[in-house]
Amino acid sequence: MPELPEVETTVRGLARHLAGQVLTHVETRRADLRRPFPPGLVQVLTGARVTGLARRAKYGLIHVDRDVTLIFHLGMSGRWRIDPDELGKHDHLVLETGSGHRLALCDPRRFGSVDLVDTAALAAWPAFAALGPEPLSDALAPAHLATALAGRSAAIKLMLLDQRIVAGLGNIYVCEALYRARIDPRRAAGTVSRAALGRLVPAIKAVLAEAIEAGGSTLRDYAQPDGELGYFAKQFDVYGREGEPCRSCSGTVRRIVQGGRSTWLCPNCQK
């Protein structure tokens, strides 16, 4: 499932081909993904100029000069294809630009979504209105977490997955950040010390920034047709490494289940 770094890498890759471009052809090739495509999508976007791209949590934003923003979510299996040789049956939305590029949103499982929102009203869009701060912004600071987690008895791991506390964090990077900050994922959120929160915030920012950088280096190889944006191999410290040696001590990485999802941790290193 694409997480924040993959979405950020995707947005940066799309920006190379879309920023400043006029959308000369816009096509939906079925009626819906997880939800129907917005009515009027093709009419509103055709002939519009892309004024900029951005990311909010795990959503990609394509701003156009008609005061609207296309918001996409990659769901479980979504990805953008740049200049595919030919369109496939999972390419559900196609954008063509004045510079001759074709971008296809491919989503075999169709858990993704596309919305069209007034640019001036983005902050009030329901999926954005309740979001916590962006993890890579200065708004995510130890003081914010101390306030948000005070008195909370839920496990710190589950609280970090709550998008109202931090926007866009998913399972992989929460596991990795808690390991790097040496915090037990099972610890009641309200009992995590201020010193530990002081380690956690830079750990969150570092694991995300490293993943984005890894994606960016992969991106340089995307000259070939059918290049897919947003997926890259990354070495994780604990995620997916059950039974393998901890990289920091002589212990072994364990997998537990929290809130119905796997957590990987080193019980020696994380307290």
Annotate each residue in 94-123 with x if it binds Zn ion (CB under 5 A) or - if it does not, as one string.
------------------------------
CA pair distance 79, 63, nearest whole angstrom? 19
CA-based nearest residue to 119, from 194, 54, 35, 184: 54
CB of 248 to Zn ion, least distance (A): 5
Question: Could you tell me the smallest distance in angstroms from the CB atom of residue 241 to Zn ion?
Answer: 11
Catalytic residue among 56, 58, 81, 199: 58
Q: Which of 132, 131, 149 is nearest to 140 (CA)?
A: 132
Could you tell me which residues come within 8 angstroms of residue 100 by beta carbon, excluding any fewer than 6 positions away? none
Which residue, 218 or 263, has its beta carbon nearer to Zn ion?
263
Q: Is 108 a catalytic residue?
A: no
Q: Which of 155, 246 has the CB closer to Zn ion?
A: 246
For Zn ion, the closer CB: 80 or 264: 264
DSSP 141-186: -HHHHHHHHTT--SBHHHHHH-TTTSTT--HHHHHHHHHHTT--TT
Total residues at interface with Zn ion (CB under 5 A): 7
Contact 261, 172 (CB under 8 A): no
Is-catalytic flag, 261? yes
Smallest gap from Cβ 135 to Zn ion, in A, equals: 24
From the list 38-46, 131-139, 155-163, 262-270, the region that binds Zn ion by CB under 5 A is: 262-270
Query: Nearest residue to Zn ion, using CB?
Result: 246
Binding positions for Zn ion, 229-258, rule CB under 5 A: 246, 248-249, 251
Minimum CB separation of residue 199 from Zn ion in Å reads 15
Q: Does residue 265 touch Zn ion according to CB under 5 A?
A: no
Which range touches Zn ion (CB under 5 A), out of 86-94, 146-154, 155-163, 260-268? 260-268
DSSP, res 101: -
For residue 256, give the nearest of 268, 247, 246, 265 by alpha carbon. Answer: 265
Of the ranges 15-23, 120-128, 212-220, 263-271, which one interacts with Zn ion (CB under 5 A)? 263-271
Q: In sequence order, what DSSP letters do the residues of 223-243 get, joined into one string?
A: TSTTEESS------SSTT-TT
Question: What are the CA-CA distances from residue 182 to residues 174, 188, 190, 192, 203 (Å)?
Answer: 12, 14, 16, 11, 10
User: Rounded to whole angstroms, what are the CA distances from 242 to 140, 157, 219, 267?
Assistant: 30, 17, 30, 12
Nearer to Zn ion, 144 or 182 (CB): 182
Which CB sits closer to Zn ion, 220 or 271?
A: 271
User: Which residues are the active-site residues?
Assistant: 2-3, 58, 261
* Interacting residue ranges for Zn ion, rule: CB under 5 A: 246, 248-249, 251, 266, 268-269
